[in-house]
Amino acid sequence: MSDFTPNEMMTIAAARALTSRDVCFVGIGAPSAACNVARLTHAPGITLIYESGTIGTAPDVLPLSIGDGELCETALTTVSVPEMFRYWLQGGRITVGFLGAAQIDRFGNINTTVIGDYHRPKVRLPGGGGAPEIATSCHEVYVTMAQSKRGMVEKIDFFTSFGHGEGGDHRQQLGIGTKGPTLLITDLAIWKPDPVTREFTVVSLHPGVTRDKVQETCGWRVAFSDRLEETPPPTEPELATLRALKARSEAAHRGAAPAARRGSKDG
């Protein structure tokens, strides 16, 4: 088995959560890498949807933004953004929303708006985009992010995307009928919400990761499952697919010739 990085483990673990039956609303960055690795390996039938209105897209390289021409060029069809949100998303046709986060709390509430006070922020982040609607309208939501005490916090600075609120049945109390965040994949572990409290609980540690390491990089007291497992390490095909995808993307974003990009689809 080849050596692998924590980020590669995170991306591959996230990819494994998807199936060919899924219709997935894809976020840019790590979620996009995970979804496309799934499409190129065990889930060739997955339908990937990006916020710009591209449906059934199969990018050869990872997009830099939702407006990347690669998405439209490889999509089965492209619809208007209002149609994407009103008919597809809010119409309940999307099974999984895959999001990233700048900050997340133990109940899966996400901040991608500001760090610090909203009116005088320390850092102004890219904002919510379509993430707030994705978080409430997709059947369920997966989140991927690298662990740090800055990112995994006791209290987020701004509610951009609603997770499980204050825990328990808070979503249902607000009339939100979808499941919300059901999976958190970090570079150290896999987390799932407790069935009752909805607090994210570690169910699997990645190879070589200890409980202490998870706690050291998290801003709240971590709950571990009684049946804690070890995440299976990446396989050679999974690693080869991810690395080839990233190599093509880096070459394309440096302005490599299109022929060089299109000649590597077997990765």
Active-site positions read 51
Give first-to-last CA distance, the chain, whole Å: 18
